Structure 1
Amino acid sequence: MPQPRVTIVGAGRMGQGLALALLAGGHGVTLASRRVHPVSAPLALHSGSLATAAVGADSVILAVPDEAISRVAGELAAGGTVAAGHVVLHLSGLLDRSALLALAPTGAALGSFHPLQTIADPATAAERLAGAFVGIEGDERALARGELLAAALNMTPVRVGSAAKAAYHAGAAMAANYTVALAGVAERLAREAGIPAAAAARIFLPLVRGAVANLDLGPAAALTGPVRRGDARTVQAHLEALGPNDRMLYRGLGLEALRLAREAGLDEAAAARVEAVLREEG
């Protein structure tokens, strides 16, 4: 059976990481970038144009920023090397196959492949991607190829409808980016409470790790703390200690925590008392 070949356009951390992981999974990989810069061994940048990089590939993956996807697709279309036998995928969590519209006349299958994982070091990508989920979208042939690529990366593919990508991506941002933002808020509140900066930067990390580990049980079962206990007095004290912006954030998250607490079986009378405190203005 011939070795599957993938061309990856874009040699940032995710592009290099996917290239290394696919190499480890038995794929032939060509890595192309408009900008020449060092890449992780044993990778080497394709020395020709982006269009010539697609020659001989089964799949072309655009690992470029969202705003560059349509432009790169147009460049590939103009190069004349992408044909009906190709599958072209981009990595955007927000955009759908229409970002590749310039390639539609070629007959290539078009779609998106969005790994739900962060890659800080390309060398660890294979390990980081294994076990993670990947959102796939596009026409049927693109979806089938996305599932094959996911299998090669030991990832779990989930099909996402084009119209649902914005909501799906908002969920990803909440889970990853805003978790980091909340950790920043917690650190700031610790400093404001008089905890030395060096300790404040790390004081909640074991707590966060424990909460994340509990999520294997599901959000409702994982929830702990005053809202889960129905402790309206503690919730009130928290609100009184916070400034206006932090109070608004706490109220919104508290109401979502209350939904989970109710799902987990919190007594309705206690839940109603917590809700009244969370919704009280002032």
Structure 2
Amino acid sequence: MAPALNLIGAGHVGRVLGRLFARHGCFDIQQVLTRSAPSAQEAVAFVGAGDAVDGYAQLLPAAVHLLAVGDDQIAPACEALAQAVPLRGSIVFHCSGALASDRLQAARDAGALVASVHPIRSFADPAAVAAQFTGTFCGVEGDAAALAVLTPALQAIGAQPVPIDASAKTVYHAAAVFASNYLVTVLDAALRAYQAAGIPEEVARRMAQPLAAESMANVFRLGAAAALSGPVARGDFATVARQQQAVGEWDAATGALYQALVPPTAELARRKAGK
């Protein structure tokens, strides 16, 4: 029989993992605990397995405990779990991208193995994610014995586990912010700059799209250094200085952003020249 798993916190990530683990027979979803009985029952319906419970006192021992709660609730939930059920020899893991498995110290003190598993994708539509999970990268770190159990389970549901350095977990999470959130911020600056030159927003988006799309495609195909083009890559710092001054006069905040991007771009150009 598959090892029993208790799901604590069943938002989008917890529900998706619970459904996939149950569907692929990786774990036997035993109990589901959330902030309220109705939400636990909804989660059980989505997962298709498990029994909804009202509190930690109702939890039964399990081989695996998944803490799919918010970052600020990981440590308190772990402490409550450690007080409620015996954990010696079990596995406790969370799904935070920003926090490492050391936030599960209460479980480790109780004799559990601990780990973190961070699926790298948006979970806005849980049903769609569950149906298209294959190929999803998951950053994993923690006790080797815990990962020896979790890694094959993740592979069974179609994930691609990638070991990460727990001491750099926050920097690892920032990588996603650079690749997603800050990329949007930089593109917004481009669109606003086009509009400052009198170009309508809709036209500006169409103008920027091929530049952005080709640049991203080149980064993923060739690497960032090889993909770099433009005045910094050419060493044309006179143009860079003129642009920086003009952008700063137009909009101080965007000018500061431009200025901040020059040194790392110049370093990228030096890497390109050194190849």
Q: Quick one: structure 1 residues 54 and 157, their matched pair in 2 at CA, closer, same or farther if it must change by over 3 Å?
A: farther
1:177-188 → structure 2 map (5 Å cutoff): 177-188=181-192
Q: 242, 246, 250: which one pairs with 2:254?
A: 246
Indicate the larger mover: 45-54 or 136-145.
Answer: 45-54
Q: Which residue of 2 aligns with 1:271?
A: none
Q: Give the one of 171, 174, 183 matched to 1:170.
A: 174
Q: Does 1:144 align with 2:148?
A: yes
Instruction: Give the structure 2 partner of residue 125 of structure 1.
Output: 129
Q: Secondary structure at the match of 1:176?
A: helix
Indicate how the Cα distance of structure 1 residues 220 and 5 shifts in structure 2: closer, same or farther if over 3 A, else same: farther
Matched, 1:74 2:79: yes
Q: Which amino acid in structure 2 is aligned with residue 34 of structure 1?
A: R
| SS of structure 1 residue aligned to 2:162 | strand
Cα drift, residue 201 of structure 1: 5.5
Aligned to 2:34: 33
1:85 equivalenced with 2:89 (yes/no): yes
- Per-residue deviation, 1:124: 2.5
Q: Distance in 1 between matches of 2:223 and 2:45?
A: 39
| Residue aligning to 2:18 | 19
Larger deviation, residues 240-249 vs 194-203: 194-203
The within-5 A match list for 1:1-282 is: 2-27=1-26, 28-29=28-29, 31-35=32-36, 36-37=38-39, 38-39=42-43, 42-43=46-47, 46-51=51-56, 55=60, 57-80=62-85, 82-126=86-130, 129-200=133-204, 203-216=207-220, 217-243=222-248, 244-265=252-273
| Structure 2, unaligned runs of 5 or more | none
Q: Which stretch has the larger CA shift, 23-32 or 146-155?
A: 23-32
1:252 partner SS: helix
- 1:77 touches 1:102 (CA, 8 Å); kept in 2? yes
Q: Is the 8 A contact 1:7 1:53 kept in 2?
A: no
How far the C-alpha of 1:206 sits from its partner, in A, is 4.2
Distance 1:240 1:157, change over 3 A: same
Query: Aligned partners of 2:236, 2:245: CA distance in 1, in Å?
Result: 15
Distance of 1:46 and 1:202 partners within structure 2: 51
The whole-number CA distance in structure 1 between the counterparts of 2:142 and 2:261 is: 34
TM-score, normalization: structure 1?
0.79
Q: What letter corresponds to residue 97 of structure 1 in structure 2? A: S
Q: Distance in 2 between matches of 1:40 and 1:78?
A: 24
Q: State, as a whole percentage, how many aligned pairs show the same letter.
A: 34
Structure 1 unaligned blocks of 5 or more: 268-282
Deviation at 1:236, TM superposition (A): 3.1
Note closer, same or farther for the CA distance 1:91–1:255 as it changes in structure 2 (3 Å cut). Answer: same
Could you state the TM-score of these two structures normalised by the residue count of structure 2? 0.80
Displacement of 1:172 = 2.9
**1:230-253, Cα deviation, whole Å (9 max, x unpaired):** 333442342132123222222222
Would the alpha carbon gap of residues 95 and 255 (structure 1) be closer, same or farther in structure 2, given more than 3 Å must change? same
Matched letter for residue 225 of structure 1: G
Give the direction of change, closer, same or farther, for the CA distance of 1:229–1:143 in structure 2 (3 Å limit): same
Please tell me whether the aligned partners of residues 230 and 266 of structure 1 are also in contact (alpha carbons under 8 angstroms): no
For residue 172 of structure 2, give the secondary structure of its aligned residue in structure 1.
Answer: helix
